[in-house]
Amino acid sequence: MPWPTAEWPVADLATDVDRDAVIDALRYLDDQPPEIGLSLATIVVHRGAIVAEQYAPSADSDTALISWSMGKSVTHALVGILVGQGRLHLDQPAPVAAWADDDRRAITVGQLLNMRSGLRFVEDYVDAGVSHCIEMLFGAGQHDVAGYAAALPLDHPPGKVWNYSSGTTNILCRIVGDVVGDGEDGMRRFMHEHLFAPLGMTSADPRFDAAGTFIGSSFLYATARDFARFGQLYLRGGAWDGRAVLRSAWAEHARAATPTPPEEPFGYGAQWWLWPEWPGTFGAHGYEGQYIVVCPDRDLVLVQLSKNVAEDRLHLLAPLRRIIAAFPPLG
């Protein structure tokens, strides 16, 4: 199959796929039952070709849709590019000037990626009275999201406790921006030259705060097909049409498990979630039901872009799991 830099190859479902399961799951999503919210786009990429694709009436293949926290996984790629260039190192103290004279100076870049910084952060999307996330994105921190998150104190020694935090992702985005230089303009050029352009992600539209920081925790817009391109990059170990966009070790770094609380239904790697029912499968997840699921053992990428509420996610995940299970593991 040709690389989908310009156009995606399209193919029929292979004969070894459970076609009925895929069709039934797609029909369920297309029917928009109230328990899953609004399904805006679904794309299934198998063996390098789109084998299923559907949209809500309000969207199509040219509609750019919000990432929410799928942007964290894009941030992982941006950090990885700098690591590959030798401009950042996982075990180095995170270069945050505000931490130079206190215990936060021990936080490493790797710990930020693994959500084990030890920084205080309440990742809540409903209760504005306790949520650092709401305050950072829409309240007092919105003009400098990284500055807001970096100003929070340590609750735990760095590296000891996992705590999912949009704030740590935005700190990473500030670090990347500082290394690249030239503020928002420099960051946009870096993202385009080293990630979006090589993949043909022409719709990618990152959003920045007033301080010039990419709000990588939440705000990247792209079409479903372009999000699928990003998933395909990780499926192929960071390679794209003969070019190493990411080091192969960096794609593996995304899904190297870090300890999480037992009540967490998914595992966690580095700015990517792990799907324990299929070892090796990992995903970029967004708050309103956005998913890029990468299944190397099935040569499969599944993109689902929705608009729902948190309590509906278990219902939405059921048809996604059915689609994945319909594709046999590689022989």
Asked whether residue 95 carries a pLDDT value surpassing 80, the answer given is yes
Residue 131 shares a structural domain with residue 235: no
| pLDDT score recorded for residue 313 | 79
| pLDDT score recorded for residue 125 | 76
Q: How confident is the model at residue 58 (pLDDT cuts 50, 70, 90)?
A: very high
Name the average pLDDT for the chain: 96
Asked whether residue 154 carries a pLDDT value surpassing 80, the answer given is yes
Residue 231 shares a structural domain with residue 172: no
Question: Is the residue at 331 inside a domain?
Answer: no
- Close Cβ partners of 255 (under 8 Å, ≥ 6 residues apart): 269, 272, 274, 280, 282
| pLDDT score recorded for residue 26 | 98
d(CA 44, CA 300): 7
Please name which of 56, 46, 22, 26 lies closest in space to residue 308, comparing C-alpha atoms. Answer: 56
Residue 304 shares a structural domain with residue 279: yes
**What percentage of the chain has pLDDT greater than the value 70?**
99
Looking at residue 146, the DSSP 8-state letter turns out to be H
Among the three residues 161, 177, 193, which one is the final residue of a domain in this structure? 177
| pLDDT score recorded for residue 323 | 98
| Stretch 269-297: mean pLDDT | 97
Question: Is the residue at 2 inside a domain?
Answer: no
Q: How confident is the model at residue 124 (pLDDT cuts 50, 70, 90)?
A: confident
Weakest-pLDDT range from 42-56, 120-134, 248-262: 120-134
| pLDDT score recorded for residue 211 | 98
User: Per the structure, how many domains does the chain have?
Assistant: 2
| pLDDT score recorded for residue 309 | 82
Residue 311 shares a structural domain with residue 206: yes
Q: How confident is the model at residue 311 (pLDDT cuts 50, 70, 90)?
A: confident
Residue pair 159/111 in contact (Cβ under 8 Å)? The answer is yes
Host domain of residue 241: 19-70+202-210+220-325
What is the per-residue pLDDT across 181-204, written as a single tens digit (0 to 9) for each?
A: 999 999 999 999 999 999 999 999
Q: How confident is the model at residue 128 (pLDDT cuts 50, 70, 90)?
A: low
* Residue 214: φ, ψ to 5°: -60, 125
Residue pair 167/132 in contact (Cβ under 8 Å)? The answer is yes
Q: Measured on CA atoms in the order 179, 76, 312, 62, is the torsion positive or negative?
A: positive
Question: Is the residue at 197 inside a domain?
Answer: no
* Residue 263: φ, ψ to 5°: -80, -10
Residue 317 shares a structural domain with residue 206: yes
Q: Measured on CA atoms in the order 188, 77, 227, 315, is the torsion positive or negative?
A: negative
Residue 78 shares a structural domain with residue 63: no
